[in-house]
């Protein structure tokens, strides 16, 4: 049984994660093409995913026609400072169809309208051009670079910082 819808867009729905979803999450999160860009070095099991469900302020499956195609989350949400950070990934076979862009826009809707946050952040590893384009389509701006901040597969990599202020976000979905 799928989880409850959290936010609905034109083509994707963000919905709650259920126990049945942990197999999808483990399968895809453990793939090198996703793991490399989430700074997750170690394999993760379904049991570990169950235990980590509370680590995000919001963790949602990105679904198309009821079937999961990715994961989107918000973390380090600080109501006093009025900000938070987001992350997302799309299964390799589902990329290039705009699902990430719509999911990020839905997270912005939640953050800026429901939570009344004033700013969202996102970090993207150098080389993840597709993820950078997603953020830019939604209106995020490059704000800085964390030079050689992460170590991925034995290599030091930069992370590009993106930010979006509530007043810069548009409620109309990006093209």
pLDDT tens digits, one per residue of 118-128:
999 999 999 89
For range 7-36, the mean pLDDT: 84
Q: Is residue 175 part of a domain?
A: no
Domain count, the chain: 1
Q: Is residue 174 part of a domain?
A: no
Q: Which residue has the tokens 């093409």?
A: 33
Question: Half-sphere exposure of 169 toward its Cβ, with a 13 Å CA cutoff?
Answer: 23
- By mean pLDDT, which of 18-22, 85-89, 156-160 is the weakest? 18-22
CATH of the domain at 137: 3.40.630.30
Q: Supply the mean pLDDT for the chain.
A: 88
> Per-residue pLDDT tens for 27-64?
887 777 766 666 666 777 777 777 766 567 888 999 99
pLDDT at 54: 59
pLDDT band with cut points at 50, 70 and 90 for residue 171? low
Percent of the chain with pLDDT over 90: 63
Q: Which residue has the tokens 């034995």?
A: 154
Q: Which residues pair with 146 in a beta bridge?
A: 159
What is the number of helices (H) and of strands (E) in the chain? 5, 8
pLDDT over threshold 50, residue 113? yes
pLDDT over threshold 90, residue 151? no
Task: Supply the DSSP symbol for 4.
Answer: P
- Residue 111's domain comprises 5-168
102 versus 1: the higher-pLDDT residue is 102
Q: Is residue 11 part of a domain?
A: yes
pLDDT band with cut points at 50, 70 and 90 for residue 77? very high
- Reported for 129-134, long-range contacts at CB under 8 A and 24+ positions apart, including other chains, are 130/95, 130/96, 130/100, 131/37, 131/88, 131/100, 132/160, 132/162, 134/88, 134/100, 134/101, 134/104
Q: Is residue 173 part of a domain?
A: no
Q: Is residue 15 part of a domain?
A: yes
pLDDT at 53: 60
Q: Is residue 93 part of a domain?
A: yes
Provide the whole-model pTM. Answer: 0.88
pLDDT over threshold 70, residue 115? yes
The encoded tokens of residue 50 equal 């169950």
């Amino acid at each position: 049984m799928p989880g409850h819808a959290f936010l609905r867009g034109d083509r994707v729905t963000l919905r709650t994660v259920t126990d049945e979803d942990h197999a999808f999450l483990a399968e895809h999160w453990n793939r090198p093409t996703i793991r490399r860009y989430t700074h997750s070095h170690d394999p993760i099991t379904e049991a570990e995913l169950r235990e980590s469900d509370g680590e995000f302020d919001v963790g949602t499956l990105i679904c198309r026609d009821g079937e999961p195609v990715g994961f989107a989350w918000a973390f380090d949400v600080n109501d006093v400072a009025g900000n938070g950070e987001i992350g997302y990934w799309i299964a390799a076979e589902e990329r290039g169809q705009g699902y990430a862009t719509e999911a990020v826009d839905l997270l912005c809707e939640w953050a800026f309208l429901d939570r009344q946050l004033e700013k969202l952040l996102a970090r993207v590893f150098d080389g993840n051009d597709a993820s950078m384009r997603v953020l830019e389509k939604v209106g995020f701006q490059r704000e800085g670079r964390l030079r050689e901040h992460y170590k991925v597969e034995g290599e030091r990599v930069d992370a590009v910082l993106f930010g979006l202020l509530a007043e810069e976000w548009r409620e109309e979905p990006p093209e």
